[in-house]
Amino acid sequence: MHSTTDIPVPAQKASGFLQLIDPDGHRVGSAEERERVRDLDHDALRGLLEDMRIIRRIDEEGTALQRHGELGIWPPVRGQEAAQIASARMLRAEDFVFSTYREHGVAYCRGAEPTDLARAWRGVTFCGWDPNAIRMAAGQVIIGAHALHATGYAMGIAWDGDDSAAIAYLGDGAMSEGDVSEAMVFAASFRVPVIFFVQNNQWAISEPVTLQSRVPLSERGSGFGIPAIRVDGNDVLAVASATRTALERARTGGGPTLIEAVTYRMGPHTTADDPTRYRADDEVAAWEARDPILRLERLLDREGALPDGFDERVTARGDALAGEMRAGCTALSDPTPESLFSHVYAEPHADMDAQREALVAYLDGLEEAPR
Ligand X SMILES: Cc1ncc(C[n+]2csc(CCOP(=O)(O)OP(=O)(O)O)c2C)c(N)n1
As annotated, the active-site residues are 265, 269, 278
Return the number of the residue (141 or 320) whose C-beta is nearest ligand X.
141
End-to-end CA distance of the chain: 58
Interface segment toward Mg ion; rule CB under 5 A; list 100-108, 172-180, 228-236, 308-316: 172-180
Per rule CB under 6 A, is residue 171 in the interface with ligand X? Answer: yes
Per rule CB under 6 A, is residue 104 in the interface with ligand X? Answer: no
Binding ligand X (rule: CB under 6 A), the pick from 173, 208, 233, 318 is 173
Per rule CB under 5 A, is residue 171 in the interface with Mg ion? Answer: yes
DSSP 3-state of 207:
strand
Spatial strand order of the sheet with 166-171 comes to: 96-98, 166-171, 194-200, 257-262, 228-232
Binding ligand X (rule: CB under 6 A), the pick from 14, 133, 142, 289 is 142
Per rule CB under 6 A, is residue 172 in the interface with ligand X? Answer: yes
The rounded distance, in Å, linking the Cα atoms of 191 and 120 is 34
To ligand X, the closest distance from the beta carbon of 272 in angstroms equals 11
Per rule CB under 6 A, is residue 265 in the interface with ligand X? Answer: yes
The rounded distance, in Å, linking the Cα atoms of 31 and 24 is 19
The rounded distance, in Å, linking the Cα atoms of 353 and 348 is 8
Helix (H) or strand (E) run with residue 229 in it: strand 228-232
- Closest Cα partner for 78 from 279, 264, 274, 275? 264
Return the number of the residue (20 or 195) whose C-beta is nearest Mg ion.
195
Return the number of the residue (114 or 268) whose C-beta is nearest Mg ion.
268
The rounded distance, in Å, linking the Cα atoms of 250 and 256 is 6
Return the number of the residue (143 or 148) whose C-beta is nearest ligand X.
143
Interface segment toward Mg ion; rule CB under 5 A; list 10-18, 41-49, 204-212, 327-335: 204-212
Packing angle, helices 81-88 and 292-302, rounded to 10: 70
The rounded distance, in Å, linking the Cα atoms of 46 and 100 is 27
Per rule CB under 6 A, is residue 12 in the interface with ligand X? Answer: no
CB 170 within 8 A of CB 198: yes
Per rule CB under 6 A, is residue 204 in the interface with ligand X? Answer: yes
Return the number of the residue (164 or 200) whose C-beta is nearest ligand X.
200
The rounded distance, in Å, linking the Cα atoms of 44 and 234 is 17
Per rule CB under 6 A, is residue 121 in the interface with ligand X? Answer: no
The residues binding Mg ion (CB under 5 A) are: 171-172, 201, 204
The residues binding ligand X (CB under 6 A) are: 100, 102, 141-143, 171-174, 201, 203-205, 265, 269
